[in-house]
Amino acid sequence: MGNLLLQISRSIRSEKIAETQPVLDQHNLLFKSDLVSLYFDLENPVLPVKILTPEYTCFLLGNFTFYNSYIKKVEVKPQIRTMEVSGSFDIQELFQNINGVYCCIQIHKFKNIVNVITDCLGFYPLYIFKDEHQLLISNEIKQIKTLSAKPFKWNEEAIHSYLYNGHLISNQTWFHEVTRLRPASEYVINCNTFIVNSTYYWTWSQLRHLSITKSELIELYAEKFKQGIDSLEIDETLELGLSLSGGLDSRWIAYEAAKKYKLRAFSFGHCLNRETQLAQQVAKSLKIEHEALILSTSDWLQQRLQAFWKVDGLLHLGHLHEVPVHTHLAKNYPVYFHGFFGGGIYGNIFECNQRINPSIANRHFHFGISDNQVSDPFYSVHSIDPYIIDQKIRYQSAYSIYLLSSYCQLLLPFYNMDWMELNYGVDEKLQINGKFYLEVLNEQLSAELLQIPWQRTGITPRCIGLNTFAQSIHLPAIKEKCFQSIGKSRHFVNYNLVDPELNSWLTHFDGDFRELGLNYKPTTREQKFRVLSLVLIMKMMERNTWDVI
């Protein structure tokens, strides 16, 4: 079964419908009543937390770590992971005091009502389906498809988005019958009528620019980040892992976390590349043990199929870099820091301090006839970043974190709501091309770390002006294009090495793609990955298995 399944059934059900549904794993049953069943994979790296309030039985699910400040307010019994809250229960306060990717299911004790509450940015994927007999919510589309007695129809606009954007958009899923839940939302489900109402408990409109000096802003920015690491509820005697790259996000994490925790770092790539070499320098400077994990390029497609199936094909095959080392990470780094959702902004100098509008949205995404959703009040702030995060990060790189969360407990210092709200409270004119972020790091990192080049530009972080100029002229992309032209790469994965096999598989499945009747001819490697991924996920969904080649 999937990691999470909420099944709400009508009190009078068709025997035929009931007979078509597979028997669910009773070992993963968290809650059962006449109408509601809640299942969660208890082999997940982080066990659920049961929260008892006067009105609700709540379950906090996903991959998360509490902050100390919140833990002190409630009694946590590790053997059963149960909280008892005597008074009112503030879901936003709870979410601001945990780190990770998660959701909350609340089951009313006296009424046939269930609330499903998503995390603030919606990085923990949840999907909903309902018909006249049942309502299903799961974090895997395939689970819903398996439990439905009716055939699903493929969503043509989702296929369009996948081919032209590399990911889905606007709450699409592969099927018309299934929708993705919105971020920062509370869905109230009436179990008798299947009526679902939703409201935002948080929106980006709550952000406010701070009227303080730049030096005070830098100090506060760094302090919030440090607090997010120092206040994690973690045994300080435990050796923690650290995913270390040649970038600045993991470098800052390493510098701050090494002050309090015992760390062991790792990097991976197809060879001892520039990224790994820079990571080794950072680890040596901080006296952290470092392991280089070499990724094999042989049978790369077969290595990725199960992980691709796990994420419902929504993260295409070209993004599943670290899949071959997942088992090794689970065994050797069961709890580790990850630099996902690092600092800075996505908008450029022409888009900063603007609310998203149709013109800007169309510059970033292909919509076809899909709703661009730019009028959604969730994005009511003078920044395009909330929209980019929701339409791209939520549908792409967040799936990598979701996949990793099946193997290890992840610590995500940058997905800290206090710090994130501060990051987006900084005037975007200060943040263009990473200038403000570099200024913060120059105040915080040691002189030795500042002399180690940044993998993105090849320039040391100490040189703020050179780094911002290099990014303004797109020097990293130009460098990579030059390397690609001679069959090399500046990154930790050189996909030139898999091109022959990629082309071979495209030839093998050419007939399958032609049958779709799509006017799309892939020319770049990225486009080829999208086509191959689309063909394979359609085969997997049809056969209900990852083993399709």
- Residues (pLDDT < 50) of the chain are 1, 12-22
Burial class (CB in 10 A: 0-12, 13-18, 19+), 207: middle
**Contact predicate 344/437, CB 8 Å:** yes
Q: What count of residues does the chain have?
A: 549
pLDDT at site 2? 63
Backbone angles phi, psi at 96, to 5 degrees: -80, -5
pLDDT at site 18? 44
Other Cβ atoms within 10 Å of 76 Cβ, number: 15
Distance from C-alpha of 328 to C-alpha of 314, rounded to nearest angstrom: 24
Token output for 520: 């799309």
One-letter amino acid at 49 equals V
**Contact predicate 267/292, CB 8 Å:** yes
**Contact predicate 544/147, CB 8 Å:** no
**Contact predicate 493/271, CB 8 Å:** no
Helices assigned H by DSSP within 169-299 = 214-230, 248-257, 274-286
Between helices 499-508 and 525-543, what is the axis angle to 10°? 50
Backbone angles phi, psi at 378, to 5 degrees: -60, -30
pLDDT at site 24? 61
pLDDT at site 189? 98
Measured distance between the N- and C-terminal CA atoms of the chain, rounded to whole angstroms: 22
**Contact predicate 368/398, CB 8 Å:** no
- The dihedral through the CA atoms of 323, 325, 331, 332 has a sign that is negative
Burial letters 215-234, b for 16+ CB under 10 A, else e: eebbebbbebbbbbbebbbb
pLDDT at site 107? 97
Distance from C-alpha of 282 to C-alpha of 303, rounded to nearest angstrom: 30
> Which are the contacts of 180, defined by CB distance < 8 A and separation ≥ 6?
122, 125, 126, 127, 128, 168, 171, 172, 173
Domains of the chain and CATH, by start:
4-202 (3.60.20.10), 205-493 (3.40.50.620), 497-543 (no CATH)
Instruction: Measure Cα distances from 277 to 73, 427, 450, 505 in Å.
Output: 44, 35, 15, 33
Pairing of strands 185-190, 196-200: antiparallel
pLDDT at site 77? 61
